[in-house]
Chain A
């Protein structure tokens, strides 16, 4: 059944499987999606990434058939499916809290979809075993689903969806309830399952690290709008605006002025860069990733500042440096002493220039940054919408 690496799989990446055109949706008068346009290709692992309330889950639920868009069209293989109910769509969903049926055991949960389709019991039994093997749950057939661990329930939910051989699998923050270690393992496992089966995965998460490590394509959303669509590398290296730069990884976002092509001024210093195509003296947002800033002796530095805090992070030190009142984050493998003055050096390719947007100046420097805050904001990231 799982025709891995078939001819279709190898050449199918270009096929548009799902298309969202100008999708809008409001709940109780509040806009949650505005003018969303999105293509999803066959065999793609695409992730909808954004903070809670950004509309990512609503987008997924529209594709799954649990919400109808107020405006716009949804196409599946070229056919408009706005009014097709979820039970007649060839997509299956892994729900955030799994929604395994508590009155059925593992086997019956997984067999559920096939029984609806009146598949013969002998074939069901064969395919359930195949699925249990795929998700590493052999021997769990008779178990009560409510007595399984979170990770095991997760696997049952995936098996229950995949056994129907959908063309698309929708995953709504499937790893959110698991602890960090298990989450990492499941990321690898999910990616393996996707590669093995060749099924298109549409994955919703607020965890940028998860999105970058698993996806072919990342769709960054905020305030009901798509901010950027691209490969993980593009999204990280070439964020389109301050929101994306801030949301994906750590970044120092500064006000700058594009003097001319390949030349930008920020932090009272003129830098060479690789960007062009802006108006002369156009105000811009400048992104410098913490790991791209080199710590050098003061006399060799392009800029210099006072180290206000140093935190050991295992692989590197996280250094906060006050340069002319703007607190930069720098990640360095070399230790520097707090309260010392250091110089910093920035290579032209470490500088990324973005046009000004509605998100400019919304993200300050690292003066209020603390690990504790970061941790807290992760925990309060609740289920959205």
Chain B
């Protein structure tokens, strides 16, 4: 087996070489080109079409910053709840028999097979003042709890819709973890909680990061959940972007989207930089 190593480029077949072509064409047409448009509109004036920072600067005015702050707050709360719910169930699943694990996996995936809009509507009928939950509470003699239209309802919607995206990457990293690490930690004196804190959690961190990303990003940019489940005071940055869009104010739509995207990219890059990625797993960026 000595001699010249094979030149990978030349030995690649036609199929291998062009296998990525359809996706590249797709990406250019529907991702790259639109993003160039977004950038173009973000930096041009509505009426004159000249280059300007004015649209971008609008994002950093008080009203917009307050809305953005609220979006961050709700997205963070939803992400934290997803983590608190998702991590234990992911851990629990890895301790089950393989057959049970597959069944649990299907149960967790099941809601995702249903359209996201329909799920949100379903949640509305559950949470309304005259909805199923309150009807049930009333019949038990408990007063109506006003949920719909509050920040709480929006957070519930986010958690409900995005929880599987937290569970799946954590479960995938954990289930691949060598069980002998757990035994080694126990052998060295860790009790059950110690094993979780000192070994399982650090080793599943890449799944956690990826889960956080997959919940936080759609949560902070959602507009549908807040429109259907929220009220007047739960206007989120996604709603504002949508409003500008329906008003045909494309420059503002583009600039807000652009800034939001930049903030997310920088934020995620920082998070990824501080977490060792050599364990692999479910990293997104």
State yes or no: do A and B come from one complex: yes
Question: What is A's interface to B at a CB cutoff of 8 Å?
Answer: 64-66, 85-87, 91-93, 95-97, 99-103, 112-113, 116-117, 146, 160-161, 164
Contact A97 B189 (CB under 8 A): no
* B184 contacts A93, C-beta separation under 8 Å: yes
> Do A113 and B189 touch (CB < 8 A)?
yes
CA distance A94 to B273 in the complex (A): 34
B180 at the interface (CB under 8 A from A): yes
* Contact, CB under 8 Å: B188 / A113: yes
A99 x B178 contact (CB < 8 A): yes
B residues 148-200 touching A (CB-CB < 8 Å): 178, 180-181, 183-191, 194, 198-199
Docked pose: A65 CA to B183 CA in angstroms? 9
Q: Which residues of B contact A66 (CB under 8 A)?
A: 183, 186-187
**Contact of A95 with B184 at beta-carbon distance under 8 Å, contacts A87-B189, A103-B279 already known:** yes
Question: Contact at A99–B180, with CB atoms within 8 Å?
Answer: yes
Q: Are A93 and B189 in contact (CB under 8 A)?
A: no
Q: Is the CB of B202 within 8 A of A99?
A: no
Q: Inside 8 A of A160's CB, which chain B residues have their CB?
A: 188
CB A14 to nearest CB in B, in angstroms, measures 28
Q: List residues of chain A with CB within 8 A of the CB of B191.
A: 85, 87
Check if A87 sits within 8 Å of B187, measured CB to CB.
yes
Q: Are A103 and B276 in contact (CB under 8 A)?
A: yes
Q: Do the beta carbons of A103 and B202 come within 8 Å of each other?
A: yes
Is the Cβ of A95 less than 8 Å from the Cβ of B203? Answer: no
Residues of chain A lying within 8 A (CB to CB) of residue B279 = 102-103
Q: Do A102 and B203 touch (CB < 8 A)?
A: yes
- Whether B187 and A93, one on each chain, are in contact in the complex, defined by CB atoms closer than 8 angstroms, is yes
A224-B186 Cα distance, complex, nearest whole Å: 26
- Chain A residues with Cβ under 8 A from B203's Cβ? 101-103
Are the CB atoms of A92 and B188 closer together than 8 Å? yes
Q: Are B187 and A86 touching (Cβ within 8 A)?
A: yes
Kindly provide the distance from the CB of B270 to the nearest chain A CB, expressed in whole angstroms.
20
Query: Which one of A66, A97, A160 has the greatest number of beta carbons of chain B within 10 Å?
Result: A66
How far is A86 from B183 in the complex, measured between Cα atoms in Å? Answer: 8
Contact status B276-A87, CB under 8 Å? no
Give the contacting residue for B181; candidates A96, A101, A146; CB below 8 A: A101
Chain B contacts for A86, CB-based, 8 A: 183, 186-187
**Sample of 4 more A-B contacts, CB < 8 Å, known A87-B189, A97-B178:** A65-B187, A87-B190, A116-B198, A161-B187
- Give every chain A residue within 8 A of B187 (Cβ-Cβ): 64-66, 86-87, 91-93, 161
Tell me which of A85, A102, A146 has the highest count of chain B C-beta atoms within 10 A of its own C-beta.
Answer: A102
Q: Known A87-B191, A116-B194; judge A101-B184 contact (CB<8 A).
A: yes
Judging by beta carbons under 8 Å apart, are B276 and A99 in contact?
no
Residues of B within 8 A of A97 (CB): 178, 180
| Residue ranges of B at the interface with A (Cβ–Cβ < 8 Å) | 178, 180-181, 183-191, 194, 198-199, 202-203, 205, 276, 278-279
CB-based contact B188/A112 at 8 Å? yes
- Taking CB atoms, residues of chain A closer than 8 Å to B178 are 97, 99
Q: Once the chains bind, are A116 and B180 in contact (CB under 8 Å)? A: no
CA distance A113 to B187 in the complex (A): 9
Residues of B within 8 A of A102 (CB): 203, 279
Q: List 9 A-B contacts (CB under 8 A).
A: A65-B187, A85-B191, A87-B188, A93-B187, A103-B203, A112-B185, A112-B198, A113-B188, A116-B194
Bound-state CA distance A65–B185 (Å) is 12
Q: State how many angstroms separate the Cβ of A84 from the closest Cβ of chain B.
A: 12
A64 neighbours in B (Cβ, 8 Å): 183, 187
A93→B279 CA distance, assembly (Å): 24
Question: A99–B184 Cα gap in the complex (Å)?
Answer: 7
Question: Once the chains bind, are B190 and A95 in contact (CB under 8 Å)?
Answer: no
CB–CB A117/B189 < 8 A: yes
Q: Which residue on A lies nearest to B203, using beta carbons?
A: A103
Residue of B nearest to A85 (CB): B186
Which residue of A has the minimal Cβ distance to B195?
A: A87
Query: A95–B180 contact, CB under 8 A?
Result: yes
B49 to chain A, nearest CB (A): 54
Please name the 8 residue pairs, one residue from A and one from B, whose CB atoms are nearest each other, closest first: A99-B180, A113-B188, A99-B184, A116-B189, A103-B202, A86-B186, A93-B187, A87-B186
Task: Assess whether A116 is in contact with B190, with CB atoms less than 8 Å apart.
Answer: yes
**In the bound complex, CA of A116 to CA of B180 (Å):** 18
Query: A170: nearest residue on chain B (CB-CB)?
Result: B187
Shortest Cβ distance from B184 into A: residue: A99
- Distance of A113 Cα from B185 Cα, bound (Å): 8
The closest CB in chain B to the CB of A89 belongs to B187
Closest Cβ–Cβ distance, residue A112 to chain B (whole Å): 5
With both beta carbons as reference points, the residue of chain B lying nearest to A61 in the complex is identified as B183
Chain B residues, CB < 8 A from A164: 188-189
Chain B residues with Cβ below 8 Å from A112 are 185, 188, 198
Residue of B nearest to A160 (CB): B188
A95 lies within 8 A of B276 (CB): no
Closest to B191 in A: A87
> What distance in Å separates the Cβ of A64 from its nearest Cβ neighbour in chain B?
6
Complexed CA–CA distance, A103 and B279 (Å)? 8
Tell me the bound Cα distance from A86 to B276 in angstroms: 30
How long is the Cα–Cα vector from A85 to B276 in the complex, in angstroms?
32
Residues of B within 8 A of A161 (CB): 187-188
B186 partner residues in chain A, CB cutoff 8 A: 65-66, 85-87
| B276 surroundings in chain A (CB, below 8 A) | 103
Q: In chain B, what residue has the closest Cβ to A115?
A: B198
Closest to A96 in B: B180
Task: Please indicate the chain A residues that have their CB under 8 angstroms from the CB of B190 in the complex.
Answer: 87, 116
